[in-house]
Structure 1
Amino acid sequence: MNIGIGLPIGDPPVLLDWAQRADAGPFSTLGLLDRLVYHNPEPLVALAVLAGATSRIRVQTEVLLAPLREPALLAKQAATLDQMTGGRLTLGLGIGGRHDDHLVAGVDMHTRGRRLDEQMAVMRRIWSGKPFSQDAGPIGPAPAHPGGPAILFGGFHPTALERVARWGDGFLAAAPPTWAGDLFDTVRTFWKQYDRRGHPRIVAQVNLALGPQPVIDDARANMHAYYAFTGMADQMVTTMLTTPAQVRETITAFTDLGADEVMFYCYGLDPSQVDRLSEAL
């Protein structure tokens, strides 16, 4: 089982400390959330800085709200980051659920799923090295891997789960083990229906705060503010893991479900949580 760390978003400069601690530890991936109308750092820019400050750990968007972006430029940005990190980029994509994000981007929220499918067709073509159109040539640079960086999709609706098999390499599941198994099974069923080789990569996402009570309180407050728009923030905060025993139990549960990686998302700013998580493992 690979273990990754989802980075807090409240203080971008401190993320260098987080990244370097994680790179020196047993962790596989650094993840970063995406919103537009919020004080979070833009994930591709931030992850580029963190990749330059590390040597081996992967960087991953979880999830980048692709419909808010123009696909040709997004494809170029992703290919650049993938190539310059030696293939360490994983592009986690989703459609988002905030009206204000889509409003300021000038994107119709009701067609964002269809837009993502159209974007994937464009980006896959660009990453293949083919001309963009009859009137425009290829858009480089070439990504580190033929066909583009690894693509994961997040979501819960069957359309989102089917998108994993149509366009992606794997699934990002922001769900507890108690009901993530059904999502995993649905993704695997679509994978077989599309006659895809091998197996979809399954990545679970869990919220975490490790440390003294002020660290936990800080994490809960930050997570509540981030998800306030859902109307379910109170319920979501109660699921946050706060003990090493819960960490180990969760890893075991997702291992039993066949997940490939667990991303522990930290909303508290204290970078010592990296060391505490390492000890908990």
Structure 2
Amino acid sequence: MHVGLGLPVTDPVTLPEWAERAEAGPFTTLGLLDRLVYDNPEPLVTLAVLAGATRRIRLQTEVLLPPLRETALLAKQAATLDLLSGGRFVLGAGVGGRADDHAAAGTDLRTRGRRMDEQLAVLRRLWSGEPYGEGAGPIGPAPARAGGPELLIGGFQPRALARVARWGDGFINAAPPSWAGRLFDLVRTSWKEHGREGAPRLVAQVSVAVGDDSVIEDARSAMGAYYASTGRAAYMVEGMRTTPAGIREAIAQFADLGADEVMLYCWGRDPGQAGRLADLL
């Protein structure tokens, strides 16, 4: 079981320190969320900075929202980050569902799923070196990994889960262990139905905070603010694990379900949490 570290977004200037601490510990991946109308750092730009501050650890979006972006430029950005990081970039992607993000991007919330399906097909073509289309040739640079960076798909509905087998290399699960088993099974079934070889990579997320009361309260406040517009803030905050026993339990539960990696998502700003989480692992 691999364990990654999800990065907080409320204090971007500390993220290189988080990355250096994570690189020195047992963590396999750094994760960063994506929003447009929110006070978070843009993930591709930020992960590019963190790629320069690290040498070993993977860099993952959790999840980037392609429907908010122009497809050809996204293909170029992702390939560039993958190449310059030595193949350490992992593109976690999802459709998103915040109306304000789509309003600011000038995209249609109602057709975001269809748009992402079209985008994923184009991304795969461009990363394989094929021309963009009539009047436009290939878009380089070639990514470090043939066919493009590792692509993980997030979502909850059957149509979203089917994208894993159609276009992806694996699944990012944001649901608790009580839901995750069913989602993992649906992804595995779809993978076989599409004739894919091997097995999809399964990645889970657990929101955590470790430290004194001020650290935990800071994390709860940040998480509550992020989910305030969804009407589910209290439920999401309630699910945060704040004790070593609780964090170990969540990791074990996902291991039992067959997850390949668990991302411990930190909402609080204190970089010392990286060391505390390393110790409890």
Equivalent-residue separation in structure 2 for 1:30 and 1:146 (angstroms):
22
Within a 5 Å distance, the mapping from 1:211-226 to structure 2 comes to 211-226=211-226
Deviation, structure 1 residue 250: 1.1
Aligned to 1:186: 186
1:24 paired with 2:24, answer: yes
Within a 5 Å distance, the mapping from 1:141-160 to structure 2 comes to 141-160=141-160
Aligned to 1:279: 279
Secondary structure at the residue paired with 1:122?
Answer: helix
1:67 paired with 2:67, answer: yes
Deviation, structure 1 residue 229: 1.1
Aligned to 2:241: 241
Give 2:263's aligned amino acid. M
Equivalent-residue separation in structure 2 for 1:226 and 1:39 (angstroms):
9
Equivalent-residue separation in structure 1 for 2:249 and 2:241 (angstroms):
10
Give 1:104's aligned amino acid. A
Give 1:142's aligned amino acid. A
Secondary structure at the residue paired with 2:76?
Answer: helix
TM-score by length of 1: 0.99
Give 2:239's aligned amino acid. T
Equivalent-residue separation in structure 2 for 1:197 and 1:230 (angstroms):
37
Equivalent-residue separation in structure 1 for 2:194 and 2:10 (angstroms):
40
> How big is each residue's C-alpha offset from its partner over 1:86-122, in whole Å with a ceiling of 9 and x where there is no partner?
1000000001111000001011000000000000111
TM-score by length of 2: 0.99
Secondary structure at the residue paired with 2:64?
Answer: strand
> How big is each residue's C-alpha offset from its partner over 1:141-187, in whole Å with a ceiling of 9 and x where there is no partner?
00001110000011100000001000100000001111100000000
Within a 5 Å distance, the mapping from 1:242-281 to structure 2 comes to 242-281=242-281
Aligned to 1:85: 85
Equivalent-residue separation in structure 2 for 1:231 and 1:131 (angstroms):
44
Deviation, structure 1 residue 134: 2.9
Aligned to 1:111: 111
Aligned to 1:55: 55
Aligned to 1:36: 36
Give 2:277's aligned amino acid. L
Provide the identity percentage: 67
Equivalent-residue separation in structure 1 for 2:131 and 2:222 (angstroms):
44
Secondary structure at the residue paired with 2:229?
Answer: helix
* Number of residue pairs matched by the alignment: 281
Aligned to 2:5: 5
Equivalent-residue separation in structure 1 for 2:134 and 2:183 (angstroms):
40
Give 1:94's aligned amino acid. G
> How big is each residue's C-alpha offset from its partner over 1:28-77, in whole Å with a ceiling of 9 and x where there is no partner?
00000000001100000000000100010000000001100000000000
Give 1:219's aligned amino acid. A
Secondary structure at the residue paired with 1:26?
Answer: coil
Output the aligned Cα RMSD.
0.5
